[in-house]
Structure 1
Amino acid sequence: MNWNRNRTDFRMGSISETGEFAFINRIQALFPTSADVLHGPGDDCAVVRVGDRIQLVSTDASVEGVHFRRNWTTHYDIGWKAVAAALSDIAAMGGQPQFVLTSIAIPTSESIDDLESLYKGVADAASACEAVVIGGDTTQSPSGLMIDVTVIGEALNNGFILRKGAQSGDMLVIIGTPGRSRAGLLALQNNIDSPEVIRAHNHPTPRITEGLWLSEHPHVRAMIDVSDGIAQDAGHIAKASGIGVGMTSASVAIDPELLTLCMELDESIPDLVFTGGEDYELAFAVDPDHSLELIENFRRTFNLPSYAIGAFSDKIDGVTIDGNPVEHRGYDHFRPST
């Protein structure tokens, strides 16, 4: 009886009303599992046991008109970004990438030279992270390119970091330069020559080495890659951990590249940082007693920005910025932008 009721509920409304993440939550109950699946849907990667090893597996799709436009990028960068986005999921778990598979749907008018350039981007992105391309599939597309990338990695020494694990009082720390990808998109939309942020949007760098480094620190309790905006992705950590998270706009580092563009377009730096998405930086929860030391060691090791942008708390419901609840937190594939 309950199954029938759930099936009826499932058919009510459209996916634009449900939204991406509520939809994912609803379909998870349909999937069988096994004892070798240590963690299934709901994190950046599935975690599976294969013999005496723990493997990390993820997949990511890139669709023309949704994730990229030809007049704003190159075929090389289309291939690079598709693979980099998928590999970033392994970085978020503190894993080492090993293998990449790519399936692509191709319009019949596509030139061989352009496709070869796309696959060169695929190969180079994999090689940059010490992974190899081992196969895939090709098929015809009636309209536009679509690339689906599956990545397989290893949890070295069988250690990995989940989204779940943050504790009340933990600091929320971000690395790198979040907000640049969204700024790059704005630059492209407004025909502004801003090479650094455009490169951040079209040619992101998955933080594999940084993720491995963070995974070795016992005071890092949860981690995620920033693909949908910090507000949304930090919210995923909070929800998985059964607590809330509060952030402050005054904590956002002033990135000169963002400052220049925001002044020209009258945009807000905190808005780009909190809700931008597609940065593929890492955000993590860390024991507050060890956060400053870890941040300083990270900066010295990688020469990258790293700073606390908020804190997790069992006294906060959901996500807040400057004490105000956040409703629209970041990107959702099926809900219109606000």
Structure 2
Amino acid sequence: MTEAQAPHSEAEVIGVLRRVFHQGRDVQLGIGDDAAVLAPAEGAVLVSTDMLVEGVDFDRSWASCLDIGWKSAAVNISDIAAMGAEPNALVVSLEVPPQCGLDDIEELARGVQEAIDALAPGASVVGGDLSSGAQMAVSVTVLGRLAAGEHAVTRAGARPGDVLAYWGKLGYAAAGLAVLRGGQVGSASAAALEACAAQLRPRPSVEAGRTAREYGATAMMDVSDGLAVDASRMAGASEVTIRFDPTAFPKLVTGLGWTRYELGLDPWALVFAGGEDFGLLATFPADDIPDGFLRLGTVESPAYAPVLLGDRTLDYPEWDHFSGKRR
């Protein structure tokens, strides 16, 4: 929006959002009132929230408003998938800088809706809030549901003797971030562009989470801060040790071999510490794991470290949102 253009009103923005967002099956009353009204079937309700902030989680020099909208919905849908549940409603709050026009806001909203259509077609945006600020920020709260008799899969249920398995890609999102930050998209290889897509438009799977629950997953969580860090969180919550099998990883690392000569990165570090993969790390009581999950290791009684790669302690620093560093 140029300085010559008239500023848009909150009513105009709400009008745009109501046109873009569809109403889901559990919604009796959606956008426009003081609160939304949902009428889900019997069962449990799950709630999670995530915020994306410009300059911290994305940069508008390499992420379009469509990308930002998609990712803000996807990372929240991932949290519900990780519990083995189905998303059914999202509340989206936007802070937009004055120079953003209605077209930017509509593009962001379309990104949210496209992610919902692709990843959680039974869900809908039912409300939110609007504000103006110096930078763009998107906060999404997602609600999910489990039918009567179904139970959420938490990260605290892994037991000695369980098998550890993973659904999704590892390291691609971090590699894509390096490409985007380096301004190399115009000359990027096909593999690098695939990595950029993993960073900008992650594709968590509600179906994989539901299948894992139906297979009897004892613990599950999404991998957002890196495989090693999130495995240590599962191990801590479950009071066990997770032992990764080194023979499970060469194929994963080989798939990222291009990052060594194109970006100067270590593929092993990307796999274990990359972050923002939004795949599913789960444990199962036997070797019979669902199709699409890759066996990565085993769960054991507590040992000298929460996470092992073979017999070696696996310890990668954890990302700290306030310092903007790993520590």
TM-score, normalised relative to structure 1: 0.77
- Relative to 1, partners in 2 of residues 1:262 and 1:101: Cα closer, same or farther, differing over 3 Å? same
Q: Which residue of 1 aligns with 2:226?
A: 229
Question: What's the offset of the Cα at 1:261?
Answer: 2.1
Asked if 1:78 corresponds to 2:68, the answer is yes
Distance 1:125 1:89 in 2: 14
**Which of the numbers 70, 83, 88 marks the counterpart of 2:78?**
88
Match of 2:110 in 1: 120
1:294 aligns with 2:286: no
1:224-260: CA deviation from partner (whole Å, max 9, x where unpaired): 0011111111111111111121224442152465222
- Distance in structure 2 (CA, Å) of the matches to 1:210 and 1:244: 24
Q: Residue 71 and residue 249 in structure 1: after superposition, are their counterparts in 2 closer, same or farther (change >3 A)?
A: farther
What is the deviation of 1:223? 0.2
Q: Relative to total residues, which structure has the larger helix share, 1 or 2?
A: 1
Correspondence 1:172 to 2:164: yes
1:308 corresponds, among 277, 295, 298, to 295
8 A Cα contact 1:161 1:215, kept in partner: yes
What does 1:107-146 align with in structure 2 at a 5 Å threshold? 107-128=97-118, 129-130=120-121, 131-141=123-133, 143-146=134-137
Q: Number of aligned pairs? A: 276
Q: Is the 8 A contact 2:41 2:147 kept in 1?
A: no
Query: Are 1:57 and 2:47 counterparts?
Result: yes
Q: Residue 202 of structure 2: SS of its match in structure 1?
A: coil
* Cα deviation, residue 325, structure 1: 2.7
The SS at the match of 1:254 is helix
How much does 1:322 deviate? 3.9
Q: Which amino acid aligns with 1:203?
A: R
C-alpha contact 2:226 2:272 (8 A) present in aligned 1? yes
Letter in 1 for 2:143: I
* In 2: Cα distance, 1:197 partner to 1:80 partner: 16
Q: Please give the alpha-carbon distance, in whole angstroms, between the structure 2 residues aligned to 1:164 and 1:75.
A: 36
- Compute the displacement of 1:323 (Å): 2.8
Q: Any conservation in 2 of the 1:274–1:330 contact (CA below 8 Å)?
A: no
Structure 2: distance between partners of 1:224 and 1:170 = 15
- Cα displacement string for residues 14-64 of structure 1 (whole angstroms, at most 9, x for unaligned residues): xxxxxxxxxxxxxxxxxxxxxxxxxxxxxxxxxxxx994201110000001
Task: Tell me, in whole angstroms, the C-alpha distance in 2 between the residues paired with 1:169 and 1:334.
Answer: 37
Q: In the alignment, what sits opposite 2:308?
A: 320
Residue number in structure 2 paired with 1:3:
none
> What is the SS of the residue equivalent to 2:257?
helix
What's 2:151 paired with? 159
Q: Secondary structure at the match of 1:110?
A: coil
CA contact (8 A) 2:167 2:208 kept: no
Letter in 1 for 2:161: G
C-alpha deviation, 1:329, in angstroms: 4.1
On the 8 A contact 2:74/2:203 being kept in 1, the answer is: yes
- Other structure's SS at 2:135 match: coil
The answer (yes or no) to whether the contact 2:170–2:277 under 8 Å persists in 1 is yes
2:204 matches 1:217: no
- Note the C-alpha offset of 1:313: 1.6
Structure 2 SS opposite 1:294? coil
Given that 1:231 and 1:330 are in contact with CA atoms closer than 8 Å, whether structure 2 keeps it comes out as: no
Partner-residue secondary structure (3-state), 1:258: coil
- Give the CA deviation at 1:203: 0.3
After TM superposition, the structure 1 stretch with the greater mean CA deviation from structure 2, 77-86 or 163-172, is 163-172
Whole-angstrom CA distance in 1 between matches of 2:223 and 2:197: 17
Residue 182 of structure 1 corresponds to: 174
C-alpha separation in 1, matches of 2:245 and 2:269? 11
DSSP 3-state at the match of 2:276: coil
Counterpart Cα distance in 1 of 2:317 and 2:222? 15
Name the CA shift for 1:248/1:188 in 2 (closer, same or farther; >3 Å): farther
Closer, same or farther in 2 for the Cα pair 1:115/1:181, shift >3 Å? Answer: same
CA distance in structure 2 between the aligned counterparts of 1:112 and 1:51, rounded to whole angstroms? 36
275, 278, 281: which one aligns with 1:280: 278
Structure 2 length-normalised TM: 0.79
Q: Could you say what secondary structure the match of 1:61 adopts?
A: strand
